[in-house]
Structure 1
């Protein structure tokens, strides 16, 4: 299903970061809404979704004046001190419409010309590799965090049928790494996976972050519980994975293939 697209003129693009992202000065969301419509997305329980017409995933607002606005806001923000940006906190900057809109790319062009002190790019889309030329210009000031919540395609299809396949995300990580762009694989949230998951990631990246609903949804798992994602686990016969123990299992697996200092847990893996 194609989402309903609305073009809007944003009044503000850089928003003050707080809570889970308190290590950043600002968050930056090129779009409102997200066509990937992941079943477990905590944004479903946030005001941006709850007070918008239509189901989450069925609408996307395009901030068509974003680049010009960011250029002005960056100048002002830099006058006040260091600027660290998390992109994005409530949407995927590389969701499908970015292929044609090129909105996120226009923002990277602004930041390549006026670099923030640090930019964290959170996505689950291989489309990020299109912008490697701009990411390279940011050098150590950027990190691309690719969500790879499982290595099982059957699990991915059950939880996030509209999201890109896992093999494509792993290929994107390889390409980014080959170009010298700082990356991490982000297992967030931990979904049912194979015993070979950590080994597969270790052959691609040297840094991983792991998170689950109970640490990462902003309400100790209560938001996720309200969404009703548990029913997907039950339907797959994998109910034991919907627990705090699931994180511990995969964390232990990661420590067999990564140095402890390269395995980050929840908030510490997202900080500048």
Structure 2
């Protein structure tokens, strides 16, 4: 087992902290808590866990942007990340009363495997703490192939599921709505690797963006071996956009004629192929 990297949380004067990664500015904070009671759409979970605030993936439709603390943060969504640098210490406080069989959703308002995680390994330290001292029921939500790095830890859980967001079969669409994210092929390969390691997987088609070929898309999804899928429609007229991509998105929606009719036709094709496809409202 890889040792927990306590050096991540050394005082600022003993470890130089990165202030920027790619387009995103990085800040560090002392969080007051690391676990939040599940509520709303996630009320079936005991807790949600977010190692970071903000997310450098900068998906143009991200709902999390509209739960930020200020209009400035919302307008600059995708260009800032705050590291909860005391997250591990906060989680360690729960050792006195282990959270045996509690359910945790990671994460509800950030991606725990966004680019900064590759070098910080903050999420990894939290997963290691959970499996060693708590044996919770964990759901990991991500769109990053980096999640495969932690397969060794995932395999130690008695109850775990890794969800991979794959919202389209088109690289043109992906580059318009999710320009900083990994390619579709990379995500398909990653979730297949997780599944082949004997870990429960689910593919999130939410929101479903324009699809070029529903039949081929369904076949590619099936090849991952994932056993669960959930899907949600994309309502352009009701969606707020961040990261300055609204005009490009509008042009693409018009080009692909991605209407409710087109979505429903795609949905029916996917249902014919995919087992356990659940539609979210």
Question: How many equivalent residue pairs?
Answer: 255
Structure 1 residue aligned with 2:232: 211
Given the superposition, is the C-alpha separation of residues 185 and 51 from structure 1 closer, same or farther in structure 2, using an over 3 Å criterion? Answer: same
Residue 209 of structure 1, CA deviation: 1.1
Flag the structure with higher helix content: 1
Is 1:6 paired with 2:27? yes
Is 1:248 paired with 2:267? no
| Structure 1: gaps (5+ residues) | 215-219, 268-272
Structure 2 residue aligned with 1:33: 54
| Structure 2: gaps (5+ residues) | 1-21
Distance (whole Å) between structure 1 residues aligned to residue 74 and residue 63 of structure 2: 17
> What RMSD, in angstroms, separates the aligned Cα atoms of the two structures?
2.4
What TM-score do you get using the length of structure 1 for normalisation? 0.85
Residue 258 of structure 1, CA deviation: 2.2
Residue 226 of structure 1, CA deviation: 6.2
Cα distance per residue 1:143-177 (max 9 Å; x no partner): 00000001111110011111111110011011111
Matches within 5 A, 1:79-228: 82-139=101-158, 141-195=159-213, 196-204=216-224, 205-213=226-234, 222=238, 224-225=239-240
Cα distance per residue 1:24-69 (max 9 Å; x no partner): 1111000000000000101122134636387111110001111121
Distance (whole Å) between structure 2 residues aligned to residue 225 and residue 33 of structure 1: 17
Give the structure with higher Rg (CA).
Answer: 2
Given the superposition, is the C-alpha separation of residues 194 and 118 from structure 1 closer, same or farther in structure 2, using an over 3 Å criterion? Answer: same
Structure 2 residue aligned with 1:270: none
Structure 2 residue aligned with 1:235: 251
Distance (whole Å) between structure 1 residues aligned to residue 109 and residue 222 of structure 2: 28
Cα distance per residue 1:128-150 (max 9 Å; x no partner): 000000000013x1100000001
Given the superposition, is the C-alpha separation of residues 158 and 54 from structure 1 closer, same or farther in structure 2, using an over 3 Å criterion? Answer: closer
Residue 115 of structure 1, CA deviation: 3.4
SS for the counterpart of 2:123 is: helix
SS for the counterpart of 1:105 is: helix
